[in-house]
Chain A
Amino acid sequence: MIWPIDLIILGLVIVSAVAAITVKDLLSAAVLLGAYSFLLCLLWAVMGAVDVAFTEATVGAGVSTVFCVAAVFHTTRRTKD
């Protein structure tokens, strides 16, 4: 594990996670959640857990983002709170 890369990715993970829950636009939140999953996948890959990284990339960053976007498609784009 190379610690500068690890630190940068970890910082970006936290930034995207906080951004995903604070942003008002739900579509942006869905996309940010995808970015969060992808960064987490990079983190797994850096740690050497390639199988977990692969699952995270396909399920987390791929399909669940599509599910979130499909769900946002049927509601309003802005949150009420």
Chain B
Amino acid sequence: MKILGKITITICGLLLLFFTSDFPDWGDVNSPASTHLSPYFIEHTIEDTAVPNIVTSVLADYRGYDTMFETTVILTAGLACFLLLRIPRKDSIHRYYRHEPTGVTIRVEGDRYPKGSNVFTRIDSSWVPYDLIINFTCRLLIHFIQLFALYVVAHGHHSPGGGFQGGVLLGASVILFAISGNLRAAIKRFGEKTAAILSSTGVFIYAGAGALCLFIGEQFLNYSALGPLLGTDRIMARSHGILIVEIGVAMAVMAVMIWIYYNLSSAGKQDEGL
């Protein structure tokens, strides 16, 4: 069976390699993409949308539908992880507590947890000692990662980046917090409910911006219709529309990344984990 699989993969790979020779060369000026689409985007982006970064304007304006459904796919991924993995916390499960002054670990069964005690701290079953260097470095880094993420979202018009990358960076900062400390501390600050609400709100902002254009009386996702609403001309309105949409994407992506991490790392219990 294994050999059969290897033979199939080899044949498919060779076929793929053979047919890639039909593709146009890298940067070929005579390829269909370079003769019809790219020149239009390169020549008209600035006068159409007032966005210097062509990639951003193609992604969020010319092909707005594509990005909207990409965001929906990400939301679906988060929901699928939630529905497949999430299991309610069992009440009768045992927990481990560490007595801080002596360093003794006790196992508590039933419902007699020492809540609100300042000598007992709850620890995971696979507990590693508190590491000053890792904790301090991560806590120092998280601020800068978040600041950079906001810059990436807001500066997507002028430099590489945008909603997806900024959202992933924001999510990664919370995941870093969860890894460096523990999962419960991260869940306390950015809970599951927040993740669920933010991820749907992000998609809603995107689709809502499109629907608003529809209500004003133009096509779906044609941001130039938002001009009178934003107090700008039709060209700048497209630039602002892209920003609105990027913020929605960033929110959705951030929340979904954190949500998937919570469910994956704790095997759906959201109790203790990596």
Contact = CB atoms under 8 A, between A and B. Distances in A.
The A interface is mostly helix, strand or loop, or mixed, namely helix
Interface stretch (B101-109, B130-138, B156-164, B218-226): B156-164
Nearest to A57: B165
A73 B273 contact: yes
B243 interface: no
Contact of A54 (B2, B26, B161, B274): B161
Contact of B168 (A1, A51, A59, A73): A59
B274 to A, nearest CB: 5
B185 to A, nearest CB: 16
Contacts of B59: 51
Contacts of B164: 55, 58-59
B47 to A, nearest CB: 21
19 contacts: A1-B26, A55-B168, A58-B169, A58-B172, A62-B168, A62-B172, A63-B168, A63-B171, A63-B172, A63-B261, A67-B260, A67-B261, A67-B264, A69-B274, A70-B265, A70-B273, A71-B264, A73-B265, A73-B273
Q: 9 closest pairs, A vs B, by CB?
A: A70-B265, A50-B160, A58-B168, A51-B55, A70-B264, A51-B160, A74-B267, A54-B165, A54-B160
